[in-house]
Structure 1
């Protein structure tokens, strides 16, 4: 006998994606969503408009108390949660703002992960508990003014001077830079690329804020200037040699973006859906018109596919089976489709779509940065291309 299904489709989740999450994953999503609704959502549009977060340190401590800083790492005060739990947290954080997810991602998946994976036990004990609690803020210095997609071309150098290391160079577009207590900095040495744990109070280190951004405005972005920064030998990350170290860190952060981009997409989609039901033209809500319904249907389809891809990659990561090229597939697809969803949502809102009274234009602008950082769309396209053809086309 055929089973007769009853009930109605949830208009905000027509694919029933929430049923795919475990109870623990739903609890994480609910906790992060509630935190964002109370602590960030009422203020984030103003922060974006002003181009600053009034008290980043207080926010970092609240995020530490929530347990999301380095939440997928084990020990040292970290929550030790699964990759999928971290993913749904990223989705909820970026549903509020990409800058908020970037703060958490850079702290946990770049600075903390680098120290956790490649650092000495002394470095882990010194920094990880403070970073997990939000009592200290970290940043990650890899990108340079003339070395973005090609990190092997970096010019920052570290030279030995007796038992010390001396660093000289510049890093660019560094999230958290000017508020960080510690920077993980990558530099060329006579023995290849090496990583260093740099307390930002070290003489010769400075981090000027980058201004005039039209994207990620509710986020601290800085240049790092290293002018004869002298460090003891214990500042070297002992476990990382060559580009393998920083690229492994970037892969962690990219995984969070796979989820996070869908949060921005969901926020814009739900805003457009609500608006379409309320906005009346020609005597009826614009949701009743065929072209609006086509837009909403297509947005829901791409959102559902993006979340399914993110969840699949999360399950693979939890099983220890996630490959870098698969992360590139997720980042390439989900950021691209999230941008399309936001742009489509903007058209449904009409002129109101460019107002910060609604989240759409803010998410749309933010995603222009997300499209570029942690690997441009072009680079991820070539990573996937190499994976499926066996031919490298980077040069």
Structure 2
């Protein structure tokens, strides 16, 4: 089995966007299970649609039992789809969307589809297959772009193609095993058994690494996700304002990183701007006390500035620095274990705020050869705006 082969995942999710043609679901499921090698047999199937589309899906897929007949004909488990997996697009107030006709309707559909796909890509044991063949063109666009924003290596995107004459026919749902005549213009001129269904997989650019972790895990509008993905591709200046305790990459605030990680970041940047060499592994043995003193001095100044700004009504940015100072003093400097922990925590905090791609430009790198660690930044000094305490 190839790495990231979708069929090898324990949870296999088919997501279909649909309008007034629920046949898209049965056609796609047929193609995935009967025409694909290896077959992608979903463990769950979801339909994203409007309130009108939901009624059609209930009536035709479940009420008229087209879905269960497909499963019976081809040995599939019908329990993978039921009424709970027909999802009407809703706004944040829970109001259903009957159609997409206005700017607000488009925004609602974009946000709902984006967050639905985001939530289902959160499970690393799941593989998604998203079909954009149904619904209004904008629904398909949002589904495809949402998968581009959040999709992983195991996730796939497709469009289903059906033999001419059968496509869009209200009575055609999938190629049957036995003969099933279908009327056309009042005459039984077609047979569902003769139809051909082709699954066209659509390549897409994966931008997940450009989305900050806090947006991967929390509610995020379509526009916010697009904005973050675009930011990752652009050059950004790093603002370190010690006078006002303001820290930014472009217009993205770093103040929520946490005082401990932010203090460690500022200390190492200060060394970088002062022209001090990268910290080597042996420095953590030979100069661990001197390095600890540098970090302690900066933490004390940050604490003082934080208290001063707090008295002026500003929120605290550097809570808990006292524990950092106590730790350095207790261990008489910064030992290798403490360094490794702080370095790892810093890079995780940057990744959480900036996303994988953008954080790569600002994180603490190891430039040394194997066994010869040398830790520093690759940030150009001209891209750092530094304002001292006074």
Q: Shorter-normalised TM-score: what interval?
A: under 0.3
Larger Rg: 2
- Specify which structure has the higher proportion of helix: 1
User: Taking structure 2 as the reference length, what is the TM-score of the superposition?
Assistant: 0.24
User: Taking structure 1 as the reference length, what is the TM-score of the superposition?
Assistant: 0.24
